[in-house]
Amino acid sequence: MGSETPLKLPFINFSNVDQNTKTLDWDLAKSQVHRALEEFGCFEATFTSIPTELHTSMFDSLKLLFDLPLQTKLKNKSSKPFHGYVGQYPMVPLYESMGIDDAPLLEKVDTFTRILWHEGNPEFCKTIQEFSTKLSKLDQMVRMMVLESLGLDKYIEEHMGSTNYLLRVMKYKGPETNESALGLNSHTDKNIVTILHQNQVDGLEVQTKSGNWIKIQPSPNSFIVMIGDSFYAWTNGRLHSPYHRVMMSGEKARYSLGLFSVPKAGYVVKAPKEVVDEEHPLLFNPFDHVEFLQFYYTEVGQRAPSALKTYCGVV
């Protein structure tokens, strides 16, 4: 008997997709996005708006950043959970990460840069801002496609204006063993959409609805687009927010980045009335994302099978 074909994420080509012209390429990608996010909650995307040189510069910048002394990296602070430096955790000793709020805005990246390099670092700053700006276009297209496919076109302007961007950059040390070692615990993201990108060291795994784990092996220039709990709640469960984790092996360090579209503080995540009906009863009460995030990092939130359902699920 032959071996089973390994599960793979749907692959969607955004090379000829333009939100301004909305040709047949847009309609095709939109239907593919909708199906993928319903079934898997994520997909692999090719997005040629980011040139190869910028990919290279971005990962060079990440290595430069994580090579800084620990005391310097600890200056990356935030009052929001997981928005500043994260590392030195005994449960995930291979993992460390840093956060850059509003990364598509040059002045915000410059402020971040000067905290770590007093004299500034213009090349680093330009790379982070340019990469984030280009990648944010993919986030916007995906979200527009979701709203259009659900017949929620009238909410597009409000929805797009309800979020900011957070760029999280991550490093996973190689465990120096061929046995799988935990890089990051299984979790769902809490935001709207996450776009992940990595150097060519694999480790990301995504869980299907049936409980199987898919080992993600993206091409050098592709991205993983993933739905977070806030978008899952906003669409009243029409999309899937998948559990995912990082499992490491070998000696090479894994560098990755995630561009997160995050609801603004004070914005109430609330499912539009159009996605609530007898077949789809309301799943979650309206909530503030920042307050939900704070709950998630409490002992109760960490122990809950679903922090979202525990926090604001409709009984």
**DSSP letter for each residue of 7-36:** P---EEE-TT--TTT--HHHHHHHHHHHHH
Sequence spans of domains, the chain: 11-261
Rounded to whole angstroms, how far apart are CA atoms 67 and 149?
Answer: 44
pLDDT digits (tens, 9 = 90+) for 258-296: 999 999 989 999 999 999 999 999 999 999 998 999 999
Amino acid 22: pLDDT: 78
pLDDT of residue 46 exceeding 50, the answer is yes
N residues, the chain: 315
Amino acid 182: pLDDT: 94
pLDDT digits (tens, 9 = 90+) for 298-313: 999 999 999 999 999 9
Amino acid 5: pLDDT: 64
Contact 127, 61 (CB under 8 A): yes
**Which two tokens mark 51?**
């040139």
Kindly report the average pLDDT of the chain as a whole number.
93
Report DSSP letters for 145-207, one per residue: HHHHHTT-GGGHHHHHTTEEEEEEEEEE---SEEEEEEEEEEE---SSEEEEEE-S---EEEE
Decide which of 78 and 186 is more confident: 186
Contact 254, 180 (CB under 8 A): no
**Domain 11-261 CATH (choose: 3.40.1160.10, 2.60.120.330, 1.10.1370.30, 2.60.120.10):** 2.60.120.330
pLDDT digits (tens, 9 = 90+) for 187-246: 999 999 999 999 989 999 999 999 999 999 998 889 999 999 999 999 999 999 999 999
pLDDT digits (tens, 9 = 90+) for 64-103: 999 999 999 999 998 877 788 999 888 899 999 999 999 9
Strand pairing partners for 118? none
- CA dihedral over 301, 307, 311, 315, signed as positive or negative: negative
Range list of β-strands (E), 37-154: 42-46, 95-101
Q: Which residues lie below 8 Å from residue 21, measured CB to CB, with a gap of 6+?
A: none
